Amino acid sequence: MNNSINQSIKEAIELIKDSDNIYIVSHVQPDGDNIGSTLALGLAIKKLKGKVNIVKVDDIPSYLMFLPGVDMIKEQDITAPIDLLISLDSSDLDRLGIGKEFALKAKKIINIDHHITNENFGHINIVSPTSAATAEIVYDFIRELGISIDKDIATCIYTGISTDTGSFVYSNTSSRTHLIAAELLKIGIDAELININLYQSKSMPSAKLFINSLSHLETYLDDKVGLVSITREMLMENNAKMEDTEGIISFIRGIDTIEVACILKEMDEEEIKVSLRSKKHIDVSKICRKFNGGGHIRAAGCTIYEEISKAKQLILDEIISTFR
Ligand code: 5GP
Ligand code: MN
Q: Dihedral sign for Cα 202, 208, 246, 178, please.
A: positive
Instruction: Write down the CATH number for the domain with range 204-321.
Output: 3.10.310.30
Model-level pTM? 0.95
Distance CA 275, CA 323 (A): 18
CATH 3.90.1640.10 domain residues, the chain: 3-198
Residue 91 Cα to ligand 1 middle (Å): 9
Q: What percent of the chain has pLDDT over 90?
A: 99
Question: What are the residues whose beta carbon lies below 5 Å from ligand 2 (ion)?
Answer: 33, 89, 134, 164
Residue 222 Cα to ligand 2 middle (Å): 31
Distance CA 276, CA 282 (A): 10
Give the tens place of pLDDT for each residue, 209-253: 999 999 999 999 999 999 999 999 999 999 999 999 999 999 999
CATH 3.10.310.30 domain residues, the chain: 204-321
Q: Is residue 92 predicted with pLDDT exceeding 80?
A: yes
Q: Is residue 1 predicted with pLDDT exceeding 80?
A: no
Buried b (16+ CB within 10 A) or exposed e, 242-271: bbbbbebbebbbeeeebbbbbbbbbeeeee
| CB proximity list for 185: less than 8 A, separation 6 or greater | 191
pLDDT of residue 293: 96
User: Which strands sit side by side in the sheet containing 84-88, from one edge to the other?
Assistant: 73-74, 53-55, 22-25, 84-88, 108-113, 124-127
User: Quick one: which ligand is closest to 163's CA?
Assistant: 2
Residues with CB under 6 A from ligand 1: 31, 91-92, 95, 115, 117, 275, 293-296, 299-303
Residue 293 Cα to ligand 1 middle (Å): 7
- Ligand 1 atom closest to Cα of 27? 12
- Ligand 1 atom closest to Cα of 115? 10
Give the tens place of pLDDT for each residue, 41-58: 999 999 999 999 999 999
Residue 84 Cα to ligand 1 middle (Å): 25
Give the tens place of pLDDT for each residue, 25-34: 999 999 999 9
- Ligand 1 atom closest to Cα of 274? 2
Name the residue of 134, 288, 315 whose CB sits within 8 Å of the most ligand 1 atoms, as the mutation to test its pocket.
288
Query: The domain 3-198 belongs to what CATH superfamily?
Result: inorganic pyrophosphatase (n-terminal core) (3.90.1640.10)
Closest residue by Cα to atom 14, ligand 1, is: 301
Distance CA 8, CA 127 (A): 9
Closest residue by Cα to atom 3, ligand 1, is: 275
